[in-house]
Structure 1
Amino acid sequence: MNKHLQELIELSKIDKAIDSYNPQLEAADKKVAKVQKKLDAAQSEVDALTSAIEDNEEKIKAFNEQLTFLNEQLASNVKKSKEISTEKEMKALSLEEDIAKEKMTFANEEIERLQAINETKKELLAEAEAKVKLLTAELSEINSEVSLEKAEIEKSKSDLFIQREELSRNIEQKVLSFYEKIRIWAGNTAVVPVKKQACYGCFMKLNDKSYAEVIRGDEIVNCPHCGRILYIEKVTEEA
């Protein structure tokens, strides 16, 4: 087999091995992202419940202030009633008191309703906060595991990069550039085997002339259909 072709086959295998780690890195990142997504959702729930409770507390505060004002108003009306001299004034004062009492009843009912809602929300908040705590611990553990996993992968990739660098230095520059140009669009299928007289990059059948050239292996042969570099695997040669 042509020396340059052998070198490109080896280089292609190293490139494939390097890129084969990418899915593992992506899978590791997905582990973290999955837990992070759950944590973000739980934290959003905590924030929403906290905000709702605070809003209700503000409403309760406003109703209590209204009750204070209405109580003062009723106390003032008691004093006014002693100074009333006509029936018309009495009716007006009585109507004012009735309205004030209705407002007080409504305020008390709303305070009771909002307090009940807050009790429920506080229970949900406690559960959500506990969930955030658990997910935070889980995320920390996953991050530690993933960091170790990625460090091992990066070490393996680094070893392969060293092998690639050593091999690339020994390959004729013209041949290496030729390979890199094909790899730009073909990726890790820049160098592919021929099986059953077909290119295993585009899966198109080769004509007899091209197939014979690939079998001889005297020169670098490109697929006439897609342009990939072709070779016959050792198993096929032995057969």
Structure 2
Amino acid sequence: MNKHLNELIALAKNDQTIDSYAPAIEAADKKVKKAQKKVDAVQEEIDTLTKEISQNEEKVKSFDEQLKILNEQLASNAKKAKDISTEKEMQALSLEEDIAKEKMTFANEEIERLQGINETKKELLKEAEERLQARNEELTAIAEVVNVEKAEIEQSKGELFVKREELTRNLEQKVLAFYEKIRIWAGNTAVVPVKKQACYGCYMKLNDKTYAEVIKAEEIVTCPHCGRILYIERVTPEA
């Protein structure tokens, strides 16, 4: 077999192994992202509850201010009642007091209602904070495992890159450039075997002349259909 072809096959297989780690890294990152999404969801719930509690507290404060003003108004009316001399004035003051008392009743009811809502929301907030702590602990544990997995992958990839450097150093630059050019568009299928007289890159059947050249393996042969480098997998006695 052509020396350069042997070297290209070895390089292609090494590159395939390097790239095969990509799905494992992606899967590891997905685990962390999934756990992070759970943390973010609980944090969003906490933020919403905190905002709603704060808004209700502002409303209660507003009603308290309103009650203060209404109380002052009733006190002022009580003083005015002493100076009233006509029935019409008495009726007007009485109507004003009735309206003020209705407003006070409504304000007190709203304060009680809002405080009740906030008590419930504070319980929910406490539960959410406990869940957030659990989710953060889960995220930390997953991240630690993933970091170990990725470190092992990077170590393996590092060894393969060292091997790749050795392979490319020994390969004729013209041949290497030809391989890298095909790899730009073909990726891990730049060098493919021929099985049943078909290119295992595009799966198109080879003509007899090209097939014979691939079997001889005296030169680097490319697929006439797709341009990939072709070779025949030699069957060893052990296989």
Q: Confirm or deny that 1:36 pairs with 2:29.
A: no
| Aligned-partner Cα distance in 2 for 1:197–1:84 | 116
Residue 74 of structure 2: aligned partner:
74
User: Is the alpha carbon distance of 1:142 and 1:15 closer, same or farther for their aligned partners in structure 2, counting shifts above 3 Å?
Assistant: same
Q: Confirm or deny that 1:179 pairs with 2:179.
A: yes
Residue 27 of structure 1: aligned partner:
27
Residue 3 of structure 1: aligned partner:
3
Q: Could you say what secondary structure the match of 1:55 adopts?
A: helix
Residue 141 of structure 1: aligned partner:
141
Residue 168 of structure 1: aligned partner:
168
Q: Could you say what secondary structure the match of 1:168 adopts?
A: helix
| Aligned-partner Cα distance in 2 for 1:210–1:119 | 82
User: Is the alpha carbon distance of 1:30 and 1:11 closer, same or farther for their aligned partners in structure 2, counting shifts above 3 Å?
Assistant: same
Residue 207 of structure 1: aligned partner:
207
Deviation at 1:71, TM superposition (A): 1.0
Residue 120 of structure 1: aligned partner:
120
Deviations, residues 16-35 of structure 1 (Å, cap 9, x unaligned): 00001111111111110000
Residue 223 of structure 1: aligned partner:
223
Residue 46 of structure 1: aligned partner:
46
Moved more, 116-125 or 87-96: 116-125
Q: Could you say what secondary structure the match of 1:194 adopts?
A: strand
| Aligned-partner Cα distance in 1 for 2:9–2:15 | 10
Amino acid aligned to 2:105: T
Deviations, residues 18-56 of structure 1 (Å, cap 9, x unaligned): 001111111111110000011111101000000000000
**How many pairs were matched up?**
239
Residue 61 of structure 2: aligned partner:
61
| Aligned-partner Cα distance in 2 for 1:144–1:99 | 65
Residue 154 of structure 1: aligned partner:
154
Deviation at 1:178, TM superposition (A): 0.5
Deviation at 1:237, TM superposition (A): 10
Instruction: Say what the alpha-carbon RMSD is for the aligned residues.
Output: 1.4
Q: Could you say what secondary structure the match of 1:15 adopts?
A: helix
Amino acid aligned to 2:207: N
| Aligned-partner Cα distance in 2 for 1:29–1:223 | 38
TM-score, normalising length from structure 2? 0.97
Residue 85 of structure 1: aligned partner:
85
Residue 105 of structure 1: aligned partner:
105
Deviation at 1:146, TM superposition (A): 1.1
TM-score, normalising length from structure 1? 0.97
| Aligned-partner Cα distance in 2 for 1:41–1:58 | 26
| Aligned-partner Cα distance in 1 for 2:105–2:133 | 42
| Aligned-partner Cα distance in 2 for 1:6–1:85 | 119
| Aligned-partner Cα distance in 1 for 2:222–2:127 | 64
| Aligned-partner Cα distance in 2 for 1:162–1:229 | 24
| Aligned-partner Cα distance in 2 for 1:131–1:31 | 19
Deviation at 1:126, TM superposition (A): 1.0
| Aligned-partner Cα distance in 1 for 2:93–2:162 | 96
Gaps of at least 5 residues in structure 2 are none
